[in-house]
Structure 1
Amino acid sequence: SALIKSSALINSSLQTTDVLNFAMKAAEEFMEAEASSVYELDTEKGDIIVRMARGEKGGFIQSRRLKFGEGIAGWVIQSGKPMIAEDVHKEPRFSDRFDRETGFTTRSLMCVPLTIRGRTIGAIQVINKKNGSPFTKEDSELLTALAQQIAVALDNAKLYQRLEENFQLTAEELKVTQQKLIRSERSAAIANLVQGVAHEVRNPIMSIGGFAARMKADLEMNNKFQKYLDIILNETSRLEKLVQDVKEIAEMQTAYLQPANMNNLLSKVIEDFSPIISRQSIHLETDIEEGLPTITLDKAQISRALKNIIENSIEALSTHGTLRLTARAVDSNIRIVVEDSGIGINEDELGSILDPFVTSKTTGAGLGLTMVYQILMNHQGEIDIKSRGGKGTVVTLDLPLNLKPEMEG
């Protein structure tokens, strides 16, 4: 009845820690043992780990490792056979390493293998009978029966854990993919809208701006209408910029991919920003790997993406701030990181910062990062933005090296 009760407890959970704790507590009670431990064979590393240990010094040895075949537990796992050591000091296979390290005294022990489908996956060990007597054959039979239940429950718990991890990963991947699809749909919707109305909107704006400029030139400088004309000119200029940006996004639904030298491209981008960096006394740090691999990309688009990111960084920086640009070949990508010490972006805004017309700035339409995102999608790349308000921003771009020279969209 005790074995049936322990079996119910052992199988009442699919959490590995709970399974082991129930099993070891039951083993200690049945054998009247002072301590117990479960060892697991790590097939990847080729050694043995103390998965859980109970007793006075259990916490000191948990997660420690043994060589395959080391000590009595190592021998049991290696041979697949149980062992009783009435006096461990007379047993040549006993290792006193943990006793020496913890100050615990092992007098006797019993260890049996954990076997599932004919394969030894570990061992369970009980140490020192509380009454000082040796472990018996009956104890060994009982622990072996218990070990079979433990092995099955442990295997089920591990299977559940793997399924849970895979489900979480799949759910997260689906969430990320969904976000990408939504963004792509928004960009595509903007592109379709722009194709139909950009021309119709741009012409009236240019006409209004043109007539306002002529009126301003014809009026005397002290005329009260000058300030109103300045407002009209500023607003029409802003609207023209907005229409141009949206039109550019519409035209960036495809990319013309050709082999390019990333070092030259980055040098040109840095050179273009040198004047404004100098004027604002920004400290520029660059760490670009020499001889980056040739990469297939649309030079104009990647240059534009980098310029948009660097412009954002410069706008976020006060004078004497720091701007850092690094580039490395990482696995099958070129990774470019733009980091600034500026005002940063609030965490609650990060989730939508790549969406069109979303901006943390007081000026601009919020299309710069949307354009960057579309360019990265054209190149099957990835963008990651990390930031906190007042703590600066880090933008990471990963561009794959294995794209073929062709039109991608």
Structure 2
Amino acid sequence: MAEPIYSRTDLRNLVELSSLINSSLDTQEALNNALMSVEQSLNAEVSSIFEVDQVKGELFIRLARGPGSHKIKTLRLKIGEGIAGWVAQTEKPLICPDPYKDVRFSRHFDDESGFRTRSILCVPLKSRDRLEQMVAEIEAFTVLLEPDIKPRDLGRVVDEVLAASAGALAQRQIVVERSIPADLPRIPLDELLVGQALGHLIDNAREAMPNGGRLALTVTPEPQGLRLALKDTGIGIAPEDLPYIFDPFFSSKPDGTGMGLTKVH
């Protein structure tokens, strides 16, 4: 299993950071303090905030910190150009562990500043409402309770989640196919956390089938326990997104916070 990118302590720091930005979006001092928090939380060497020039269709640097930042303050990117331009265009957060191997990366800023970028985290700050939603989900993640693991009936947990989701699934004309044997053994699990995880997966499946489809949930016995599988006939996940779907803040949905699958993971 891959190591998590952020610990809960890191995410608590991000809660404080997001609250700081949200408290005063229009002040240079707040933005500077926010970037300082980013650097401390993520051990970043440089940080910057880009702003969209809607008239010219470009991004300009509102604030930059770190080595060589004074050399790039007048540089601009076209929307769609570079990592920041791609994030502005798609409105999707992006974690890029090796920018020089990513075709979206523009070396122009490194060439001008003399700094070599080794990794990038780029997040769109589209609106106050979306930021508040993201902060709320991060806070919920950082205070997850210790699992209350006891022998439970997984089939009953699945049925309860399906019952709660039935109305939303029916509105989209999604047919649910349930395949759960009646004589399953009880297994150690946390009903609340497994239910939340399954709920997130069902929500994602529903959103991927705006014109209807099929959602199949199957539980099968295995030597070490039970396997719960969920399949749908939705639009699927782009191959280039697959490595990042469990990363914090990564979302393929324009209004997503990127925390749902992180909590599932």
- Map 1:7-86 onto structure 2 (within 5 A): none
Q: CA deviation at 1:203?
A: 8.7
Q: Which residue is 2:48 aligned to?
A: none
Give, in whole Å, the separation in 2 of the partners of 1:249 and 1:190.
11
Aligned to 1:351: 243
Matches within 5 A, 1:146-225: 177=1, 180-181=2-3, 183=4, 185-194=5-14, 196=16, 200-201=19-20, 204=23
For 1:186, the aligned partner's letter is: Y
Question: Larger Cα Rg: Structure 1 or Structure 2?
Answer: 1
Which letter maps to 1:315?
A: E
The alignment yields a C-alpha RMSD, in angstroms, of 2.5
Aligned to 2:182: 290
Q: Contact conserved, 2:178 with 2:217, CA < 8 A, in 1?
A: yes
Counterparts in 2 of 1:202 and 1:348: CA distance versus 1, 3 Å: closer
Partner of 2:255: 363
Residue in 2 that maps onto 1:270: 162
Alignment of 1:358-397 (within 5 A): 358-373=250-265
Query: What SS class does the counterpart of residue 323 from structure 1 fall into?
Result: strand
Label 1:296 to 1:328 Cα distance change in 2 as closer, same or farther (>3 A): same
Whole-Å separation in 1 of the counterparts to 2:14 and 2:205 = 28
The share of aligned pairs that are identical, in percent, is 27
Structure 1: state its 5+ residue gaps.
1-176, 206-233, 374-409
Counterpart AA for 1:347: P
Q: Where does structure 2 lack aligned partners over 5 or more consecutive residues? A: 25-125
1:190/1:246 contact within 8 Å kept: no
Cα–Cα, structure 1 residues 278 and 202, in superposed 2: closer, same or farther, change >3 Å?
A: farther
Aligned AA for 2:147?
A
Distance in 2 (CA, whole Å) between partners of 1:345 and 1:333 is 28
Determine the structure 2 residue equivalent to 1:153: none
- Partner in structure 2 of residue 211 of structure 1: none
Count of residues paired in the alignment? 164
Name the aligned partner's letter for residue 369 of structure 1. Answer: L
**Which protein has greater RCO, CA pairs closer than 8 Å, 6+ apart?**
2
Aligned 8 A contact 1:255 1:301 in 2: yes
**Cα pair 2:208 2:235 within 8 Å, conserved:** yes
TM-score by length of 1: 0.37
Q: How do 1:135-154 and structure 2 match up within 5 A? A: none
Q: SS in structure 2 opposite 1:269?
A: helix
- Taking the aligned partners of 1:202 and 1:327, their CA distance within structure 2 comes to 44
Alpha-carbon distance between aligned partners in 2 of 1:297 and 1:280, rounded to the nearest angstrom:
31
- The answer as to 2:61 corresponding to 1:241 is no
TM-score, normalization by structure 2: 0.56
Equivalent of 1:279, from 171, 183, 190? 171
Deviations 1:135-164 (CA, angstroms, capped at 9, x unpaired): xxxxxxxxxxxxxxxxxxxxxxxxxxxxxx
Inter-partner Cα distance in structure 2 for 1:235 and 1:197? 16
C-alpha change, 1:204 and 1:267, in structure 2 (3 Å) is same
Contact 1:191 / 1:246 at 8 angstroms: preserved in 2? yes
Contact 2:133-2:257 at 8 Å conserved across structures:
no
Counterpart of 2:129 in 1: which secondary structure? helix
Q: Give distance in 2, aligned partners of 1:369 and 1:318.
A: 20
Provide, for residues 147-198 of structure 1, a one-character-per-residue CA deviation record: whole Å limited to 9, x for no partner. xxxxxxxxxxxxxxxxxxxxxxxxxxxxxx4xx22x2x41435434256557
Question: 2:217 aligned with 1:325, yes or no?
Answer: yes
With over 3 angstroms needed to count, the CA separation of the structure-2 counterparts of 1:235 and 1:196, relative to structure 1, is closer
Give distance in 2, aligned partners of 1:264 and 1:238: 34
Q: Distance in 1 between matches of 2:250 and 2:256?
A: 10
Q: Separation in 2 of the partners of 1:323 and 1:296?
A: 26
Decide whether the 8 Å contact of 1:194 with 1:247 is kept in 2: no
How far is 1:329 from its partner?
1.7
Secondary structure, aligned partner of 1:256 = coil
Distance 1:352 1:203, change over 3 A: closer
Query: Does the aligned pair in 1 maintain the 2:130–2:255 contact within 8 Å?
Result: no
User: Which whole-Å CA distance do the structure 2 matches of 1:290 and 1:363 have between them?
Assistant: 39
| Structure 2 CA distance for partners of 1:201 and 1:258, relative to 1, 3 Å | farther
Question: Aligned equivalents of 2:225 and 2:10: distance in 1?
Answer: 30
1:353 shift after superposition: 1.1
1:256 is matched with 148
